[in-house]
Amino acid sequence: MPLFLVRHNHDGARCPAQDPYMGAMLLNHLSRPNVRRHGVEILGEAVVQGEHTMFLIVEATDETRLREFMQPFQMAGSLDVYPASTCARVVASGGCGASVPAGDVAAVLDPAEICQHAIDAGLVVHRAHPLNCETPLSELAGGVVMPTARFYVRNNFPIPSLDASGFRLQVTGLVDRPLTLSLRELHNMRSHAEVVTLECAGNGRTQFDPPVPGERWQFGAVSTAEWSGVPLADILDRAGIRSGACEVRFRGADCGEVDNTRGPIRFERSLTVDQARDADAILAYAMNGEPLPIQHGFPLRLVVPRWYGVASVKWLTEIEVSDRPFEGHYQTEKYVYYRDRDGKETREPVTLQRVRALITEPAPGQEAAPGDLVVRGLAWSGAAPIAKVEVSVNGGDWRETRLVGERKRHSWQWWELIAGFDRPGDVTLRARATDMAGRTQPERAEWNKLGYGNNGIHEVTARIV
């Protein structure tokens, strides 16, 4: 419903609260059951002390109905009604006087509403529309999976609004048996669940020097969840890939305009046929044991373990098998490592997650008493499970930490170290990971102009007091 700000003012000599019967009548009028009967919802109320002025934040079907409801206050003094908005809606709209942009083709969710949900969950919002927000580093500490509400959100376009009952997944192209599958049919197929860490390729972008364009991710564009659905290989086997096929393209329902294109485009990515078969990819319809949330791809998304999150196409509606490489915008122009080598620009596609460790405890600037200090964090790699994590204290030698739990192929690894400190002062902690393929974090990631793959060593300074 539309949002309004209501201001009521009355003369001090005629304050209705001075009459206990009049005051009680107005309180009853504002009671939530009575308010709902009039098609109004009060979201907030306050009286300015000593000013005989009251403010209400309300939702109502329209201004006329709201004024009718507020008639008792109009009789007691003045009444002003202002069409209003939320902070999230203003930011999503691009300014106080702008309206929220609509989707280019498909129906989209209210960006202000979905942004407010992210704010209420404690996510750090970098962009309201399309929504992009990360998990605070301190919230990464905890269990095996990230609570769904605090899982980071990355979007290139507005979030589409899809109806589960009418949803169909199309599998076309170089296949023997083109498929059209409803969500119910997918649920009836063999299911598989996998705990998988997803990380945005731009995670850590703010650490590049000189700065690069793009979302201003710190370290929290990474999260882990249990994803449940149909193995992608089963879908491809059911369709039957023909000889000569080389790539599988995945098309999402989200769309919008980008530079150097004519009109809106859909979000699309591709894998080679071998990658699609061997990546343990899932067509997920559930996350952490619940139906897939809309901001994470409802009703169906692709989840590709070990790859950066861009490969895990959300709101998946089409799979097309082709005999030629896909050269779409998000395949060959974005999510590419652009570097200068000997005066020439080189291009390398973003694929597997780079080996990385983060310190989640202590927090930057955290104070601790002398004695034992527990240093904890997490590590992951797309190439192989984590072999070891090492920590350096105040620039000293690298000390190997204890890995917590069994080594994991597709999700992050917890680790911890207990270090002793006798004297007060600043303590600089640095962590680096090595995976079982022999890859170790670099001191600094190689700069690239779009700011992808920054897996430089993470450093935190705490204080012993």
Q: Are 301 and 365 members of one domain?
A: no
Q: Are 309 and 371 members of one domain?
A: no
Q: Are 175 and 239 members of one domain?
A: yes
Model confidence at 91, in pLDDT bands (50, 70, 90)?
confident
- pLDDT of 186-215, one tens digit each? 999 999 999 999 999 999 999 999 999 999
Classify residue 136: in a domain, yes or no. no
Rounded CA gap, 152 and 198, in Å? 9
Q: Are 305 and 426 members of one domain?
A: no
Average pLDDT of the chain, as a whole number? 93
Count the neighbouring beta carbons within 10 Å of the beta carbon of residue 79: 19
Structural domains in the chain (count): 3
Q: Is the pLDDT of residue 460 over 80?
A: yes
Q: Are 342 and 361 members of one domain?
A: no
Domain closes at, from 349, 379, 400: 349
Rounded CA gap, 357 and 415, in Å? 9
- pLDDT of 311-359, one tens digit each? 999 999 999 999 999 999 999 999 999 988 888 899 999 999 999 999 9
Q: Are 328 and 387 members of one domain?
A: no
Residue-wise DSSP of 362-425: SPTT-EE-SEEEEEEEEEE-SSS-EEEEEEEETT--EEEPEEESS--SSS-EEEEEEEEE-S-E
- Is the CB of residue 255 less than 8 Å from the CB of residue 104? yes
**Residue 307: helix, strand or coil by DSSP?**
strand
Classify residue 141: in a domain, yes or no. no
Q: Are 299 and 432 members of one domain?
A: no
Domain closes at, from 27, 60, 83: 83
Classify residue 122: in a domain, yes or no. no
Q: State whether the Cα torsion 290-294-298-302 is positive or negative.
A: negative
Rounded CA gap, 336 and 189, in Å? 35
Classify residue 407: in a domain, yes or no. yes
Classify residue 186: in a domain, yes or no. yes
Classify residue 100: in a domain, yes or no. no
Model confidence at 101, in pLDDT bands (50, 70, 90)?
low
β partners of residue 372: 420
The encoded tokens of residue 274 equal 């071998």
What is the distance, to the nearest Å, from the Cα of residue 329 to the centroid of all Cα atoms in its chain?
Answer: 21
Report pTM: 0.86
β partners of residue 79: 8
Classify residue 459: in a domain, yes or no. yes
Q: Is the pLDDT of residue 100 over 80?
A: no
Mean predicted confidence (pLDDT) in 145-158? 96
Domain coverage including residue 385:
356-464
Mean predicted confidence (pLDDT) in 32-50? 90
Classify residue 38: in a domain, yes or no. yes
